[in-house]
Each structure stands twice: as C-alpha cells, then as structure tokens.
Structure 1
C-alpha cells in the first residue's frame, strides 16, 4: 500500500465492531439456550475463525448482510465433538478462550493455529486450568499449539493471575461455568472486563470488586441481542491521525469507551491532545460514545504501570504519536508486547527508525525522542495488523511517499481500513 503525506483529514466515520466483544458474543451465544442476534459484528479474519470453530463444534451460525450474525445456541452442554481440528488462524483470543470453554466438556479435541499462534505462549492459561482439573497437552511442555484438550470434570479454584490478561481471565471464567464450587480470581492490575460484563448479561453470576472476581456456576445462560460498538483499538489510528496531521478534525461515531480500554485517550489527553467525548450511552452493559479529535501540539510523556493493560494493543500507534510530539516519551512495563502477533517492541522500533524517528528499544518498552521530521520509508507489516495500521498513520506526516508492505494484514481486525483513511483526505 502506497501512502502519500496528508495535508488535512476531515470527516465523520464509523469503525468496525469491537473485536473482543464480537468474539465473546459468538462464544457465549453458542452456549446459551436459544438464538442470540449480533449487530455490528466484526467480519475480520480473527472473528471469522471463532465462527468457524463453533460451527465445527455443532453450532448453527448464520452470517447475514449488514454485519449481522445469528447464533443458534444449544445450551451449556450442547457442544458436540468436532470431526476436525479447531483451527484458530491468527487469533489468540479464540485459542485461549476455547481452552477454558472446552476443558470442562465431555469430549476430546485439538486446537491449532497459524505460524504466529504456534509461537505464542499458552502455558499461562493451561497452568491454572490444570489446577481446576483440566487435561491439556501440547508442544514445549504444554505451552505451544497444537494442543489436545480432553474434557474433564472441573472444580473451582482461588488463583492470583501473574499478569493482567483479559484472555487468561476469560478462559478461567469460562471454565468456572463448568466447575464444581466457586472460582475466585485476583488480578495484579485491572484488564479489559468484556467477559464479566457480557457473561452477566447472558445470565452468569460473576461479582467483581476492585481486582477480585468471584464466579458462581449457573445451570443455564440465556440468549441475548448484542449490539457491538465500534472498536476503540480500531478508532485509535484515526484518533492519533487526527491529532498529528495539520488542520484536521475527525469524529468517530459509536465507539466503545469501556474504562478498561480507554488508556489511549487518557495518555493522548495528557500529551495535549484535543479529544472530546459526546453522546454517551450504554449498550448491553458497555458504554458507547462519539469521539471527536482535532489537530494538536503534543508533548512527550511517560506511559507505565497500571495503565498498560488498558492500552496494550494501542502502544504501536501511541509510539507514532510520540514521534510527532515534542520531547521524550518513555513506554515501560510493556514486555507483554513481545508475545503479540509480532514482537511489537522490536517491530515498532525497527520500522519507525526507518523513517528517521529517534527511538530505542528497552527490555520492557521503548524511548522516543519526538518532534523531528519523519521521512518516507518502506515499512514492513510482519503480518501484524497493528503494525501495518500504525505505520500507515506515520506515513501521513512523512515528508515524502511511503509504502506499507504486507498491508493485507489489516484484514485480521479492520477490513476497509485504507479506504476509510483515504476518505478523510481533504
């Protein structure tokens, strides 16, 4: 994808449905008793992998025009043994949450994914599931796909999560639905809470208090109508673009503003970003609003500690904002970036360096000395959707034309990304 510098970006847009919520709506709808209707479903490759897996597990799922999906749930014990491997593609969410859901079933199956998934650590999920009674085996000491799951009777546990991970937490909450007794989880920091909100919307009994989560088993989940808000992780690229491209004003409609996901907004406002939140409402337990951004003079900042889980997926594009900002930005406590679709610390530093950005890698993040001219470059995506989209934003403020190689990676989470970007050019 060839991208030329932008003089100005203006317009009103929507972004695709939230990826986390789309995944969960299909999963929870599949084990609810009846038809769950989903509006605004993200038709990205990751979420389609989730649909494919649940079809193999015997669930009838209709994909309808207008990003609508109908899930014909068969109840908590209605999943059937798959006749084929459950292939999760590039989706860590599908892989890890399936481990929790399948651990308590009465059949065996195998989960596998693409080359990237085969490198990503699953032991962090498997270890506590084994404490609940799960039988899961895989490569490299049961840490890597492919993974064999033999469904077993489970029991509740008390477990302190070693990292703030929504995928780990969600896998354990799904297992807790099938466990005898209660499950009590303690997070080191608050991670995104879509699973707790949506499971309760479907009729689960999950109580949260500060960093503690208490799950009591229920006998049935009930189908719901889910409206998926726009994904703030997808909106993030346009938020940053609107701040750093001169003479710009962009409104992004109906974006999810769950507080466990809005770390990027907090950081950008602290850097001097002009960001306005309006028309706030609640849809299926999730807060939603319109976000308007205007060109701003940004200043460097430090991003660390408890805010990291609230913006972990947005750090690549935050690095782009930091490159445009005056002064130094330090990002730390973000070692989790090393086990994403790519090692995002290394890939962000490598790619922005090509554009003349003064950026250095650290053990748990990066240091960016911003405010210098950005030159056009040949960027690589590493087949990582967030790297591809972030480099496209950097290209908007470069002094000359840039190319993003492997740009098709955006289809994992944001089909149509480049078309929307083009539509905003004035």
Structure 2
C-alpha cells in the first residue's frame, strides 16, 4: 500500500521574505499545480517584454529594421543559458514549430520510415504521420513500458530501426507520462547506423542543468515551461553535417544565410518574447538560483505525490503508486481511480471540471487507457497547494470515478 506522506519542505520565499509567488502574477484565487503545461512568466520578464513592445509600437520602422541584430543578441544569451554555442541554436516559437522545421527540411525518400515511441507528444506524432503519408512510408512506434529503465528503453527504440529508417524521434522528458528517455544512448546507437535523431526536449530547459544532450542531430526545447520565458520562445539546436539542411518554416530575408542566421530574420513578427527570455532566466538565477529551483521542485513534488497518493489510497483502497522508469525532478504521476480519464478527451474534461468547480489548475493525462494526475512544481508552489488538492480534489475525483 502507499507509504505515509513525507515531511513537507519549507515554502520558498523571495529575498525580501515574501512568499515566492509574489514574483509572479498568477491569480491568487486559483491553486496552480500545472506549471508543466504553459509555464508562468515572472513579473520582471513581463515588464521587460511590455517595455519592448512599447518601443516597437513607438517606432515600428526603426524597430523592425534593427530586429535582426536584436534577435541575434537574444539568441546568444539563450545559447548561454542552454550551455551551447550560439552557432548551434536557432529561435522558434515553440517546440512543435522546431519539430515541424526538421520534418520540412529533411529529404525523406520514398518508403521512408520514422521511428518514435508510444510516449510521443500528439502533435509531434501527427507531424511524423504527415511526413510518412507524403513519402509513402510509415511511422514505427516502439512500445515502451512506463517502468522501463534506460537500457530497456534504448533497446526497444533501436529494435524498431530498419534499413528504411530515415529519422528517430524521441522525447527527452515526456508530456503525458512525466519520464525521461536515454536520448544520448539512443543517439549514439543511431549514429552507428547513420540514422539522424530528433529529440523533443519541450520540458527539458530549466529542469536539467545541461538540457541539450551531447550528440549530433536535432533537439528542440520550450523555454516558456520550466525556464519561465514569455510564451512563444523555443530553441532549435542542430549539430553536425545535417544542420545546414535546416530552413525556416516561413521564407524571409534570411535566405542568403546559413543556419542559424537564416532563422534570425522573422519579418514583422512580434518576437519580443525572445528578447525578454534572458530576463526570465536571470531573475530566477539572481533571486533563487536554478540549482535551488531544481532541488526544491523535486522535494516538493515528492511530498505532493506522497500526500495525494496516500489520500487516494485511503479513499479507494486502490494503490495509486506509479513505477516510472526514469523519473524527473519537478514532475510526478499519481494513478487515478479506475475508469477515470481513460481517453485523451476525457482527461481534458476532468481537468476542466477541477479547474471550474474547485479553482485548482492541474494536468490530467492518459496513457494506455489509464488516467493519471500529473503533478508539477515551481518556485511559487508551496506544500499547502498539494494539501489543498488532497483535501478538495481527491474526494471529487473519487466521486467522478464512481459515477462513471
């Protein structure tokens, strides 16, 4: 049966001694337990982006004529945060845009196959299937058990590789199942066969000290999630000979340039989010420290998972424990009662019900017909957030399950 709840960590405070949520503008009447989906931007970065927008609108001609240089400067700062060379990184609007860029830039021969896993993000999988339809090929899906360790996961992915494999697409940290994948081991095994790898690292920035794996190939990561940049900011990292094949999704005045400078020319798009991203990174570092975030979020998620799991166990007599093969610091899974959120559509309905009726934002996911509560944590969260969920949301979720 589920173990007794762990000891609650001490809530995080600002350097001035206030609750840390003061550095964010989140609605105080809501309990916010779903940072992993859309993130939250610190007030300081919001203020900087607003200032940039005001400059843009005060003199659009001057702004857009100089935007190329400002994007390049922002890209250099973001590269530093990711611990990569500025020459290896381009800026895009989200991880899905980065994935689509790779799909659209590579040459897939007739009958080509793309290998991915049953943990793949829906939009990424749909893009792979689109590519396969166009070239008359197929998508091969490796069935990775939730509790698979690194060696098993790597072996199962590589078992799907054939002489027709043109690309392997694998999550760095999965969205629905809150687990990591051994991306460097997969990339190393694939390189022996000459197969390129695309890593969907949407959740990795901020979560991992060095979010970009040491590999040739492609990696995309959202900076608006745990890294707290304004939404619409993501990085596409490319290393090795295939980097030169990448072209922006929209043709603009960067066409004479090679990767990554060709991505710096974005015309009249509002990319102030990119220019304010480094302010978000610096705010977290200067006021708390990224290492502090990672340790606090892990401790807080451990507490929340333990407390909420115990509450479900007491209410249902079922074991809500989930064995995750490669768990991740600020993300945790708790198994929901039987019959609840068994489909993707149902999971969204349950999430909306909890938000509308109880003022609690959380993530409800489904995997292989089983519903899960996906917990996430950031600096503004406190043990009380998870205690509120256990007190108010657990009984309601149990009621919904019994009524289904």
State the TM bucket, normalised to the shorter chain: under 0.3
Question: Higher RCO, 1 or 2 (CA under 8 Å, sep at least 6)?
Answer: 2
TM-score between both structures, scaled by the size of structure 1? 0.23
The structure with the largest strand share of the pair is 1
The structure with the largest helix share of the pair is 2
TM-score between both structures, scaled by the size of structure 2? 0.24
